[in-house]
Amino acid sequence: MEIKDAKFVISNTDVSKCPATGLPEYAFIGRSNVGKSSLINMLTNRKGLAMTSSMPGKTQLINHFIINNEWYLVDLPGYGYAQRGREGRENIRKIIDGYILNRHEMTCLFVLIDCRHEPQKIDLEFMRWLGENGVPFCIVFTKTDKLGSVRVRENIAAYKMRLLEEWEELPPVFATSSEKKVGRDEILDYIEEINKS
Ligand code: GTP
Ligand code: MG
């Protein structure tokens, strides 16, 4: 799919304030610093559309970007950022959970996982919670440029094995590098298929 146009629309603290658009939207979630905002910039081919930082905790709000005037990408704050303190973490979790459970336009959630790490409890629990709530999601492994291709394949295979201990079926899985623009066509084609259906 060609991205002809990508524009920032609005940031909100609360799902109830998000615009009622009726258009499909695709949201990006995962631990702070996993690369959600970078992936949005990579997919849209626009550096600086979503704000990124080497420090975790950059994205604090629900950010809507309209693509080709037809559908939305949504950048969410990350979960699990230790230095934010308990109250801060709970507040961010409320924003995230409220969006995921109440946003009718949310068509598919992309759960980002850093391909360098072993399966983390916080991500496994989060995906379990998605399953319990019937939320459609995919998994996106990020930062594949930071490992050799053999290690990437091994880590993803090990992650899938871990998931199959508790899931009967695996969701769609993508391997990406925002740095090297890997995985762009696969994700955009997947979104296009859903938009058409
Ligand atoms: P929060 O908004 O804090 O939750 O983080 P985020 O998930 O939006 O991460 P962000 O996109 O801001 O990226 C965090 C850091 O990882 C930045 O320094 C990015 O440059 C870096 N980064 C993101 N994706 C990649 C990638 O594919 N490869 C490499 N090498 N670095 C990446
Ligand atoms: Mg971000």
Residue the block writes with tokens 């690369």:
35
Q: What is the pLDDT of residue 86?
A: 84
Write down all domains in the chain, each with its CATH number in brackets: 6-196 (3.40.50.300)
CB burial readout 165-183, b (16+ within 10 A) else e: eeeeeebeebbbbbeeebb
Q: Which element (helix H / strand E) includes 11?
A: strand 6-12
Six-digit token pair at 123? 């991500």
ipTM score for this prediction: 0.99
The answer to whether the CB of 33 is under 6 A from ligand 1 is yes
Six-digit token pair at 3? 């991205």
Closest-approaching ligand to the CA atom of 40: 1
Site to probe by mutation for ligand 1, drawn from 37, 51, 52 as the one with most ligand atoms within 8 Å of Cβ, is 52
Per-residue pLDDT tens over the stretch 45-72: 999 999 999 999 889 999 999 999 999 9
pTM of the model: 0.97
Six-digit token pair at 60? 């604090």
Per-residue pLDDT tens over the stretch 4-53: 999 999 999 999 999 999 999 999 999 999 999 999 999 999 999 999 99
The answer to whether the CB of 84 is under 6 A from ligand 1 is no
Is residue 81 very low, low, confident or very high in pLDDT (cuts 50, 70, 90)? confident
Answer with the residue of higher pLDDT: 197 or 136: 136
Beta strands in 13-122 (DSSP E): 25-30, 62-67, 71-75, 106-114
Nearest atom in ligand 1 to the alpha carbon of residue 56 is 3
Six-digit token pair at 112? 């980002």
Residue 83 pLDDT exceeds 80: no
